Structure 1
Amino acid sequence: MNACPDSPSARRTLLYILAFCLVWWGIFAATRHYLDGADMVENYAWGMEWQWGTNKHPPLFGWITAAWFRLFPVGDNAYYLLNQVNLAIALGLLALAMKRLLSWDAVLVAVVLTTLGTHFGPDSGFKYNANTALLPFVAGFVWSLLHALEQGRARWFVLAGVFAAAALLTKYYALVLFAAIGLAILLTLRPPLAMLFKGTVIASVTALLLVTPHIVWSIRHGWPSLHYMHEAHEVLGATDGAKAYAVALVGVLGFSSVALLAWGASLVRLPTVPLDQAPRPPRLGLSILSISVALTLLAALAQGISPVSSWLIPALLFLGWALVDLTPARFDNGWLARRIYRVGLIYLLVTLVAAALWDRQYRTYPAQPAYALPQRIAEDATRLYHDAYAEPIEYAAGTFPLPYILSFYSPDHPHGLYGFDLAGPDLAQSPWIDARALESGNRIAVCGTLRFGVTDALACPAAARTLFGPPDQTRQLVYTVYDPKTRQLGQQRYAVLMWKPHQPH
């Protein structure tokens, strides 16, 4: 604790977090011409139902998305802003957590190195989903837990329980992070066991009370999130399983490569200082990161599922902290902070230039790529329905993720159906929608894909007719599209099936 809160490094930390998030929001708002094809529109479709669960994840980040768009117009730029606000909160709470053990110079280094992880920028920095939504709650959990262990007050353990509940209501993977954080604190800080036990009970009871409604919902619906996890990440064999683990680890190194290079290069010819007798801060960040990666792989092995590198995005929130812990004590932290700070600013400048060049290339395409069509499809399908019936759409079905795309982009914001199969009173994969409500609702199905040259001409329309009966009208949307990979123009076709309002099934 060798720097006061108003030190230059403290101010630089705050300014860098704000600059980083604003620059990336500006980049995405100005140069990205489409949302992610599935995850982000899913969030909105789930959140607008305000239920205690979904077919894939716990509900909190869907609620946050829906609440956000009660305040802001539904659109791409506001969505990018949500992710940057989410990231700014996470980095701020992480800085406060690190300050419990490190100087502001070290905190600045750790924050900048963390942001150099590519998943916060060019890879998926625009994407607000279960992984990125988890970040502020995990950082807040560590911050409040360190406060609690230092002061021994129950209110900080209660706050840790609130953050833990929010994390669990975002993604079950939070349990792995809690275990890693707890083990790391136990091994590096060695707190009194009595206080740790008491605090664990307080935090656990708080979290359990807040998560109980979701547990009840999941029991009633057969734990759909767990079924999805096994269906989506099933290991096909020993060879495929080993390959999946290797690919996940290589992916983590890829995410971290820029940060690792920046850190290693900054240590070259770095001035040294006389070593004092003060004890070195415990390597908590390194322990959390190492144990998180190990437990993630072990958990995947125990569950018999294939890991993917994106699962480790929340764990990589501790990458910069781990690199600070690995920095030899003989190096001057002040010099390192100034070097890394300059690297961070240069990185932001380079990304602005690269984004401008990328956007210039995109604008030379003779037509939109197929994957950039979602908003046009939603608006055109809605126009067809309004022209035919002069009423809003209530339910949207079709080829995934087109129903959720209509939920987000259509001015009617219809309820999006994941699939067509009926299972008792609920639609399979859409447990919040009562199948009987569909019998009287205004319905539309949009069939097609967002992949160049690929159609869904038979299966989707047939499934829609089986579920809803013969459509009243069928229309077709045809777009000229461009494939950047093959540099070819083509036509992308979508079938739009419409049913009269209030037509019984």
Structure 2
Amino acid sequence: MPAAPPLSDAFRTRAFAVQVFALALPAVLALLVFPTPLYDTRELMAWGRHLSWVTPLHPPMMVWIGGAVDWLFGPSSAAAILIGQILLAVGLVYLYAILALVTAPGNAALFTFLFGTSLYTTFAPLSFALNADILQLTPWPAIVFHYLRAARTDRRGHWLAFGFWSGIAVLTKYNAAVLFLGIGTATLAVAPFRAVLRRPGFYLASAVGLVMVAPHALGVLDHHSSVEWGLAHFERAGVAQTLSRLYEYLLGYLICFLPGAVIVVAGLLKRVLAWAPLAAPPARDDVRFLVVMNLTMQAILLGLVLIAGLDYLFRFDAPYAMMAVPALAPLVRWADRTARWFEREVTATIAGLYFAAAVIITVVYTFFASHSGLQEPIAAAAKAIRDDWTSRYRCGPAYIIGGRQGVYGVGIAMPRSVSVIDYHAITGAPWFDPAAVRAGGAVVIDDGPMTPGLLATFLPGLVTTEAKQVTLPLRRTHKAKTITYSYRFAAPQDCGS
């Protein structure tokens, strides 16, 4: 490996502070102007009120974490984002650890910083806090790091950690299978790694992962809606739709690699970065492993989009982009002036860019614009509806039911004893109890003209009151905009003695 400045010079206090600032920025924006969790985050918080190995649509990990955040901090967007960013920070530590195996310490710090301050890691959590794609940024680099170290050292601790993080990844999202296929292909393709298949530690790790996933797998046998939901994302598409999916595929990488890619190109042009010579063994083998792993994953992704018809969204790219970083970073090395450039120009550019963006966003959404989801007055709506309920009934409600957009907002602002579910998730939720709906009563939230008819489909015979409405202004904005909630009550039939 080329000589490099010591890590203390490469990743000083300024760079660390800017990284922390970038990770904290979405939580700060949530505190200032976007206090309400967006729709997916609300859903997983609501489902997290019931500890279950299966959910209506996803593996359970993000629901467990969302439920824990809601239990500790309530339906706070800032809390959900902050917990997610702390988990991301763990993933960045592992990303640095991988990079340190294949490139100089300063280069490892630079590329960790560039990914950790990307547009995706800084701004996507506002909309997708605790989403599975963001959560995979923690276990995926951990899996790869411990696998590389286990392949070199055959230490039991690394094998156990590899198995543990593998189980976490599968319980987070099924796309972990693509990572495992990439690892498997690279293991067979890079000769020094084939010895792994003869080591007991590899099978011990496999057993740990399988034991962790087994309760979920058994649960899916009875409630297989999560698998059906995943398969529903595959459908035949015409040329225009396929091009749209490829656009999403490319857009995700653009968001994940900006502004870092621009900074690297600028560094090469200014000659503060230089093209790197081929790494020396054993790092050379690790680099080859990472390249084959990434090429395999990209081939699988493109096959899923172009052949299997995967309905691809840009946010799916995040863990794949993160895994590409250790394969790309060894292509460049530090020149004599790199440390000074990194510490002064790169950190100042990122800090200035994101500080300006934060000020602009805060001013615009406080005085001139609004966001119906991130500024929705869910607490005020829940209070108004609950006050109306308690004026009529002496117990309940047991459930908040209705259309997805409205039900989870109002629902997570209700007491945690209230279960919350949208119509289409009813059949896939193992915790749903129609008898409890009738005994304790329910609030039915209607999102639009289509949702009232769904009540008879999913809960036939449930009688409700006439619809009422409550209209409230959005939060944290001077833009004059309101949102109207339409709701009905299903009276409780059994309030006890």
* 8 Å contact from structure 1 (residues 46, 59) kept in 2: no
Does the alignment pair 1:135 with 2:140?
A: no
State the shift of 1:88 in Å: 0.9
State the shift of 1:493 in Å: 3.1
- Distance in 2 between the 1:274 and 1:72 partners? 48
State the shift of 1:54 in Å: 1.0
Q: What is the aligned partner in structure 1 of residue 218 from structure 2?
A: 216
* 8 Å contact from structure 1 (residues 465, 471) kept in 2: no
Does the alignment pair 1:351 with 2:342?
A: no
- Structure number with higher helix proportion: 2
Could you list the per-position Cα deviations for residues 106-157 of structure 1 after superposition, in whole angstroms to 9, with x for gaps in the alignment? 1111112212432111244562211111111111111211221121123321
- Distance in 2 between the 1:367 and 1:388 partners? 35
1:171-190 matches, within 5 Å, as 171-184=173-186, 187=189, 190=191
SS of the residue 1:35 aligns to:
coil
Q: What is the aligned partner in structure 2 of residue 424 from structure 1?
A: none
* 8 Å contact from structure 2 (residues 369, 479) kept in 1: no
1:314-353 matches, within 5 Å, as 314-327=319-332, 329=333, 331-332=334-335, 335-341=337-343, 342-353=345-356
- Distance in 2 between the 1:479 and 1:83 partners? 30
* 8 Å contact from structure 1 (residues 14, 92) kept in 2: no
SS of the residue 1:297 aligns to:
helix
1:148-297 matches, within 5 Å, as 148-184=150-186, 187=189, 190-198=191-199, 199-221=201-223, 223-271=224-272, 279=280, 281-282=283-284, 283=287, 285-297=290-302
Could you list the per-position Cα deviations for residues 309-328 of structure 1 after superposition, in whole angstroms to 9, with x for gaps in the alignment? 2211111113443442232x
Q: 1:14 to 1:202 in 2, by over 3 A?
A: farther
- Distance in 2 between the 1:355 and 1:325 partners? 33
Could you list the per-position Cα deviations for residues 218-241 of structure 1 after superposition, in whole angstroms to 9, with x for gaps in the alignment? 0111x2122112324533435423
The worse-fitting range, judged by mean Cα deviation, of 431-440 and 137-146 is 431-440
Does the alignment pair 1:20 with 2:22?
A: yes
Does the alignment pair 1:463 with 2:464?
A: no
- Distance in 2 between the 1:310 and 1:385 partners? 40
Q: What is the aligned partner in structure 2 of residue 452 from structure 1?
A: none
The worse-fitting range, judged by mean Cα deviation, of 195-204 and 395-404 is 195-204
Q: 1:116 to 1:20 in 2, by over 3 A?
A: closer
SS of the residue 2:487 aligns to:
strand
Q: What is the aligned partner in structure 2 of residue 451 from structure 1?
A: none
Higher relative contact order (CA 8 A, sep 6+): 2
Point out where structure 2 has 5 or more consecutive residues left out of the alignment: none
* 8 Å contact from structure 1 (residues 31, 355) kept in 2: no
SS of the residue 1:358 aligns to:
helix
State the shift of 1:300 in Å: 4.1
- Distance in 1 between the 2:222 and 2:35 partners? 40
State the shift of 1:251 in Å: 3.7
Q: What is the aligned partner in structure 2 of residue 111 from structure 1?
A: 112
Q: 1:349 to 1:443 in 2, by over 3 A?
A: same
- Distance in 1 between the 2:144 and 2:470 partners? 51
Match of 1:304 among 299, 305, 309: 309
Q: What is the aligned partner in structure 2 of residue 432 from structure 1?
A: 431
Point out where structure 1 has 5 or more consecutive residues left out of the alignment: 422-426, 449-455
* 8 Å contact from structure 1 (residues 475, 496) kept in 2: yes
State the shift of 1:215 in Å: 0.5
Aligned amino acid, residue 173 of structure 1? N
Could you list the per-position Cα deviations for residues 18-66 of structure 1 after superposition, in whole angstroms to 9, with x for gaps in the alignment? 3432344323332324322x21011112222111111211001211222
- Distance in 1 between the 2:306 and 2:435 partners? 41
Does the alignment pair 1:97 with 2:101?
A: no
- Distance in 2 between the 1:460 and 1:156 partners? 51
- Distance in 1 between the 2:6 and 2:126 partners? 29
Could you list the per-position Cα deviations for residues 409-461 of structure 1 after superposition, in whole angstroms to 9, with x for gaps in the alignment? 2234521122169xxxxx3133331323322123111112xxxxxxx13x322
- Distance in 1 between the 2:482 and 2:29 partners? 30
State the shift of 1:339 in Å: 2.6
The worse-fitting range, judged by mean Cα deviation, of 266-275 and 144-153 is 266-275
Match of 2:486 among 495, 498, 501: 495
Cα-Cα RMSD? 3.3
Matched residues, percent identical?
A: 21
State the shift of 1:489 in Å: 6.5
Q: 1:185 to 1:393 in 2, by over 3 A?
A: same
Could you list the per-position Cα deviations for residues 281-303 of structure 1 after superposition, in whole angstroms to 9, with x for gaps in the alignment? 43355554443322222234554
Q: What is the aligned partner in structure 2 of residue 393 from structure 1?
A: 397
Q: 1:390 to 1:337 in 2, by over 3 A?
A: farther
Q: What is the aligned partner in structure 2 of residue 379 from structure 1?
A: 383
- Distance in 1 between the 2:257 and 2:410 partners? 36
- Distance in 2 between the 1:193 and 1:307 partners? 33
- When the two structures are superposed, what TM-score results if normalisation uses the length of structure 2? 0.86
